[in-house]
């Protein structure tokens, strides 16, 4: 569906498709009568829409983007400022919610856990959410729940965070690497098919940077070969389709994520009732949830989300989709302002697609690694703008003895080409327009100096 074809009166569900559409509508000044679906995650966005939808536009005098401090001359732009991951209002909410949990003494298990899981499932439109101690543990419990065990192989991309492969190792299985689609940066179905063996048990695609992998094709492939699919959606909360086609998806709420909390946390989301029940047991010592300390599984971790963290999550959830809107708007603004770099072939920009959470904004410096590094150095030294290469070492280039033994002869041309040219620009929930302008200016100056 074309982004400009939807009618402006549609209900905003808060998923990535609806937010991408809202960004286009705001840019085209077509926001009247827009309303959100009634979900806790939509509360702050709904409040802005009800009061004055024009505030979603930076041009509005009371815009949600102009409430931030201005940048002083010569001030730099950090890649991810830790002290600004949460707004002052969000910080106050955290303290108030945490105090509430402390006062009850219900710090580990408690009623906020089930309430948070229900709110999360409701927002995602899925029947089950099981909240865990981290995204990594969500991946481990989901893989174990679909039956991955000792001696199995699980197909993963090589360009993800180490948690993806570590979850496979933690099950006693071996990660097998497949190359990625050069546009999405996510597992290529044909390359995935090429590495299936009799030992393959599951496929673990990663929605890298927040861009949805080709899940329908990967699930089709998996079904033909009797395999399971667990999505690593740790960077992709709210992306349309997460958890809909696969066996399960793992989310992360660590402080650096789009929906970041004040510690480590994650969740497994699924449509499968039995699988959700198995994850629940595997996340708490293998116990039968109906009986105290009675085992129903041989083994389980101790990784249910803490009640105190779930309280915090419930407190922060009302801003989830407003924050996602901000990221989506800022990503579109990067694309609009950097588009002139593309026709000359100097840069390759990501497409403004509907199935993206914009966890990271990566672009390719087409001239290769050395020019990419020179661009970054120029931005840092002349403009004090920090960029990043988020995962600096690909899985098959890690140097542990086992990595060397297993992956020495692995060649992944698309993964390697993308990795040698990618640069990540600052993009977080509270990036200001002034900061973004500084990044855009610095990138243009760096391209002029290096090309
Ligand atoms: C792609 C990916 N997978 C897994 C994880 C692990 O999540 P967590 O840090 O919550 O364990 C992360 C985040 O760190 C991630 O970005």
394-447 confidence digits (pLDDT tens): 999 999 999 999 999 999 999 999 999 999 999 999 999 999 999 999 999 999
Identify the sign of the CA torsion 180, 186, 187, 188: negative
- pLDDT at position 66 over 80: no
- Domains contained in the chain, number: 1
Residue with tokens 């000359």: 344
Helix (H) / strand (E) element for 394: namely none
Rounded to whole angstroms, how far apart are CA atoms 81 and 1? 36
Confirm whether 403 is domain-assigned: no
Confirm whether 109 is domain-assigned: yes
The residues facing 174 across adjacent strands are 153
Please tell me if the CB atom of residue 235 comes closer than 6 angstroms to any atom of ligand 1.
Answer: yes
Return the pLDDT at 8.
52
Return the pLDDT at 32.
74
Confirm whether 450 is domain-assigned: no
| Residue 69's pLDDT band (cuts 50, 70, 90) | low
* Probe residue for ligand 1, chosen from 234, 261, 283, 394 as the CB with the greatest number of ligand atoms within 8 Å: 234
Please tell me if the CB atom of residue 135 comes closer than 6 angstroms to any atom of ligand 1.
Answer: yes
Please tell me if the CB atom of residue 160 comes closer than 6 angstroms to any atom of ligand 1.
Answer: yes
Return the pLDDT at 48.
96
Grouping H, G, I as helix, E, B as strand and the rest as coil, residue 95 is: helix
Confirm whether 9 is domain-assigned: no
In angstroms, what is the span from residue 141 Cα to ligand 1's centroid? 14
Please tell me if the CB atom of residue 161 comes closer than 6 angstroms to any atom of ligand 1.
Answer: yes
Confirm whether 262 is domain-assigned: yes
* Probe residue for ligand 1, chosen from 85, 133, 134, 136 as the CB with the greatest number of ligand atoms within 8 Å: 136
Contact status, residue 142 vs residue 171, Cβ threshold 8 Å: no
Contact status, residue 86 vs residue 257, Cβ threshold 8 Å: no
Contact status, residue 191 vs residue 214, Cβ threshold 8 Å: no
Please tell me if the CB atom of residue 254 comes closer than 6 angstroms to any atom of ligand 1.
Answer: yes
Return the pLDDT at 26.
95
Please tell me if the CB atom of residue 394 comes closer than 6 angstroms to any atom of ligand 1.
Answer: no
- pLDDT at position 3 over 50: no
Nearest atom (ligand 1) to Cα of 235: 16
- The 10s digit of each residue's pLDDT in 299-354 is 999 999 999 999 999 999 999 999 999 999 999 999 999 999 998 788 999 999 99
In angstroms, what is the span from residue 53 Cα to ligand 1's centroid? 34
Encode 8-69 in three state secondary structure: CCCEECCCHHHHHHHHHHHHCCCCCCCEECCCHHHHHHHHHHHHHHHHHCCCCCCCCCCCCC
- The 10s digit of each residue's pLDDT in 212-249 is 999 999 999 999 999 999 999 999 999 999 999 999 99
Return the pLDDT at 400.
97
| Residue 75's pLDDT band (cuts 50, 70, 90) | confident
The whole-number average pLDDT for the span 52-58 is 94
Confirm whether 285 is domain-assigned: yes
Q: Minimum mean pLDDT among 8-22, 96-110, 174-188: which range?
A: 8-22
Contact status, residue 345 vs residue 375, Cβ threshold 8 Å: no
Encode 131-149 in three state secondary structure: EECCHHHHHHHHHHHCCCC
- pLDDT at position 4 over 50: no
Domain that holds residue 132: 91-317
DSSP 242-300: TTTSSSEEEEE--TTSTT--SS--EEEEES-HHHHHHHHHHTBTTB-TTSTT-BSSS--
Nearest atom (ligand 1) to Cα of 232: 3
Confirm whether 343 is domain-assigned: no
Q: Who's near 39: CB < 8 A, 6+ residues apart?
A: 13, 14, 119, 122, 123, 321
In angstroms, what is the span from residue 253 Cα to ligand 1's centroid? 9
Confirm whether 178 is domain-assigned: yes
Please tell me if the CB atom of residue 134 comes closer than 6 angstroms to any atom of ligand 1.
Answer: yes
Return the pLDDT at 68.
61
- The 10s digit of each residue's pLDDT in 140-152 is 999 999 999 999 9
CATH number, domain with residue 234: 3.40.640.10
Phi, psi of 447 (to 5 degrees): -65, -40
């Amino acid at each position: 569906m074309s982004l400009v074809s939807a009618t402006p009166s549609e209900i905003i569900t808060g998923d990535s498709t609806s937010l991408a559409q809202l960004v286009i509508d705001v840019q085209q000044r077509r926001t009247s009568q827009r309303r959100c679906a009634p979900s806790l995650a939509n509360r702050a966005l709904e409040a802005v829409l009800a009061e004055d939808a024009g505030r979603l536009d930076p041009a509005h005098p009371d815009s949600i983007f102009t409430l931030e401090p201005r940048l002083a001359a010569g001030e730099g732009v950090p890649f991810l400022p830790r002290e600004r991951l949460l707004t002052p209002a969000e910080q106050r909410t955290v303290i108030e919610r945490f105090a509430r949990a402390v006062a009850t003494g219900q710090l580990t298990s408690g009623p906020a856990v089930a309430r948070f899981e229900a709110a999360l499932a409701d927002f995602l439109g899925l029947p089950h959410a099981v909240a865990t101690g981290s995204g990594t543990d969500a991946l481990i419990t989901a893989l174990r729940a679909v039956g991955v065990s000792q001696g199995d192989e699980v197909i993963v991309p090589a360009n993800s965070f180490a948690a993806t492969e570590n979850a496979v190792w933690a099950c006693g299985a071996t990660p097998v690497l497949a190359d990625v689609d050069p546009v999405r940066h996510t597992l290529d179905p044909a390359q995935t098919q090429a590495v299936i063996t009799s030992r393959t048990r599951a496929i673990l695609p990663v929605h890298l940077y927040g861009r949805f992998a080709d899940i329908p094709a990967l699930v089709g492939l998996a079904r033909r070969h009797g395999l399971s699919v667990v999505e690593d959606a740790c960077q992709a909360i709210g992306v349309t389709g997460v958890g809909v086609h696969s066996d399960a998806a793992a989310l992360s709420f660590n402080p650096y994520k789009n929906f970041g909390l004040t510690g480590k946390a994650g969740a497994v989301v699924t449509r499968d009732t039995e699988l959700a029940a198995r994850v629940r047991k595997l996340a708490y010592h293998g116990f039968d949830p109906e009986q105290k300390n009675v085992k129903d599984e041989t083994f389980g971790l101790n990784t249910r989300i803490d009640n105190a963290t779930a309280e915090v999550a419930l407190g922060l959830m009302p801003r989830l989709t407003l924050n996602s809107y901000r990221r989506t708007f800022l990503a579109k603004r990067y694309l609009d302002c950097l588009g002139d770099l593309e026709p000359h072939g100097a840069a390759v920009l990501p497409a403004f697609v509907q199935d993206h959470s914009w966890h990271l904004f990566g672009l390719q410096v087409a001239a290769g690694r050395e020019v990419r590094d020179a661009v970054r150095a120029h931005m840092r030294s002349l403009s004090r703008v920090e960029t990043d290469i988020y995962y600096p070492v690909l899985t098959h280039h890690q140097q542990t003895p086992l990595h060397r033994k297993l992956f020495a002869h692995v060649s992944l041309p698309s993964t390697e080409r993308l990795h040698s040219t990618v640069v990540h620009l600052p993009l977080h929930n509270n990036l200001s327009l002034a900061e973004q302008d500084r990044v855009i200016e610095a990138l243009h100056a760096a391209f002029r100096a290096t090309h």
